[in-house]
Structure 1
Amino acid sequence: MRDAIDAVDWSAVPGHPDWYEPEHASRGLRALADAVHLVRAAEAGSLLGGGGIVHGHSGAVFPAAAVAAPLLLDIVQHGHPAAGETALGLLDEALSFRPRPGYTRVLPPHGAAVPICCVIADHVRARTAPLSRMGSTGKALLADAAEHWRFDVRESVADGDDTAAFGSLAGRFPDDVGAVELNVAGEFTVLDRVGLEYAPQEGSAEACLRVGGLLPGDLPPGAILYPAGCGL
């Protein structure tokens, strides 16, 4: 686990210069991975929560949190129980805290910039099975991640004055969805007429969204929809 932590150049990860402490990120993750009791886990959590991946006093989350998320989830699964609980708490804060202006997104190896919280939510969902076995704390984190839904468009067809978009839905699409961000090859558009036509059935992610005001060509395969509030 240390190799994966040390493989990241934390000083190269963008972050607000007055808030983000790259050294806290690297030292905190190494210490948390090595922690074998509550005191060491708490010390590591203080580094990570004091500018490493979040800033607890101001309720800020940094792009480093998205990079650290799979490492924290490894600690949850394979580290000391006290370290795992600390990691779960940090992930929960990273999902709920707000990013600083200008540092709201991260750029994955392939694709367009994605809101920090949505990247973290994707990592959390990828560990659904082990987190579900970790009692109320793990299930609460999964529930928090579900609020950061994403819809990947596979195909779009005209349906009257609207467009029906077929694809896969991760997370929970809300009844009162509000504004939705459409990401097409890195170009962002905010939509206000999006509804769930049919939800995924158990064991499947297939769903359909009804989108008003757009033509099928505006929703090409590979387009992604997120909650618009996540990109702020």
Structure 2
Amino acid sequence: MCDDPGMLSERIAAVDWAAIPTPVLRAPAWATERYPLGWQLPDPVAPLQALAAARTQVQVADAVSRLENTRVLHGHMAAVFPAAVAAAPFLLEIAEQPDAFPMARHSALGLLGEFLALAPFRGFNRIEGTPLCCAVADLIRTRQTFLRSLGQPGRELLQEAGEHWRFEVAETLVDGDQVLAFGGLTGALPRDTARAEDQRSRTVCAVTVEYPPVEDSGDACLRLESPTEVTVGTVLRPAECGEREH
């Protein structure tokens, strides 16, 4: 959490947003002469700073409207871009400011929910191998205590993040033509069979929960129902997250 809005604003500006891969959008027919190489989306610095400083509903609405047309996301196209992962911690800090304007906090949480739900462009759907939505979910989970303190809005965001689960293999045991994987689970697997992606190899297999997580430890056992090779340290995530794209 950052108690000094000035420091938060400086850190937003310090990010090299231009270095984060972002698709160049095709310009509409009426603008092709002006943008012959396509449309470069603007950086999100000013809108993020404006949201952090907003103290009226008009200021919040203006900041969110501008942010939804940047390298972070495009509201009209319902698309999210890799810079969302860099923006997510700032939105969490905006929500966590002690004197946050209620609508600014609500909007910050709403934008994080959009990051989880919107589809990225092909070729721009991962950060260091992790699907964008899962990378954002990991960041959201680092603020669990604060988000729970907000009541229903925070719990709903955590529930949405829980759908983007992560399982890290700590030990394996071959059981016939299947594999039992013991490790740590964050988030919530579906009750029925789920499709999981090995984040390293990007192979997909079917998994079921053999033993659910023990209390709050996250220790669990998954049964990998289709032949696949997993080793200690393998990270499994929802296959659907890696496949989501425009």
Q: TM-score when scaled to structure 1? A: 0.90
> What amino acid does structure 1 have at the position aligned with 2:224?
V
The answer for the alignment partner of 1:91 in structure 2 is 112
Q: Please point out which of 26, 34, 45 is paired with 1:26.
A: 45
Q: Show the 5 A alignment for 1:1-232.
A: 1-18=8-25, 21-23=41-43, 25-78=44-97, 79-107=100-128, 113-184=129-200, 187-191=201-205, 193-214=206-227, 218-232=229-243
> What amino acid does structure 1 have at the position aligned with 2:9?
R
Q: Residues of 2 paired with 1:163 and 1:8: CA distance?
A: 43
Q: Helix, strand or coil for the counterpart of 1:99?
A: coil
Q: Tell me how far 1:179 sits from its aligned partner.
A: 2.1
The answer for the alignment partner of 1:110 in structure 2 is none
Comparing 34-43 with 58-67, greater Cα deviation is found at: 34-43
Instruction: Please say if residues 49 and 90 of structure 1, whose CA atoms lie closer than 8 Å, have aligned partners that are also in contact.
Output: no
Instruction: Please say if residues 95 and 108 of structure 2, whose CA atoms lie closer than 8 Å, have aligned partners that are also in contact.
Output: yes
Q: Residues of 2 paired with 1:123 and 1:195: CA distance?
A: 25
Q: Tell me how far 1:40 sits from its aligned partner.
A: 1.2
Q: Whose Rg is larger?
A: 2
Comparing 197-206 with 115-124, greater Cα deviation is found at: 197-206
Q: Residues of 2 paired with 1:13 and 1:91: CA distance?
A: 18
For residues 107-141 of structure 1, give each alpha carbon's deviation from its aligned partner in whole angstroms, at most 9, with x where no partner exists.
2xxxxx10000001111111111111112211111
Q: Helix, strand or coil for the counterpart of 1:72?
A: helix
Q: Residues of 2 paired with 1:26 and 1:212: CA distance?
A: 46
Q: Tell me how far 1:150 sits from its aligned partner.
A: 0.9
Q: Tell me how far 1:20 sits from its aligned partner.
A: 6.3
Comparing 130-139 with 141-150, greater Cα deviation is found at: 130-139
Gaps of at least 5 residues in structure 1 are: 108-112
The 1:21–1:154 alpha-carbon spacing in structure 2 relative to 1, beyond 3 Å, is: same
> What amino acid does structure 1 have at the position aligned with 2:111?
L
Q: Tell me how far 1:55 sits from its aligned partner.
A: 1.2
Q: Tell me how far 1:212 sits from its aligned partner.
A: 2.8
For residues 62-111 of structure 1, give each alpha carbon's deviation from its aligned partner in whole angstroms, at most 9, with x where no partner exists.
1111111111001110133222111111111111111111110012xxxx
Q: Residues of 1 paired with 2:70 and 2:51: CA distance?
A: 15
> What amino acid does structure 1 have at the position aligned with 2:134?
C
Instruction: Please say if residues 42 and 69 of structure 2, whose CA atoms lie closer than 8 Å, have aligned partners that are also in contact.
Output: no
Q: TM-score when scaled to structure 2? A: 0.85
Structure 1 vs Structure 2 CA RMSD: 1.6
Q: Tell me how far 1:214 sits from its aligned partner.
A: 3.5
Instruction: Please say if residues 171 and 182 of structure 2, whose CA atoms lie closer than 8 Å, have aligned partners that are also in contact.
Output: yes
Gaps of at least 5 residues in structure 2 are: 1-7, 26-38
Aligned length: 221
Segments of 4+ moved more than 3 angstroms: none
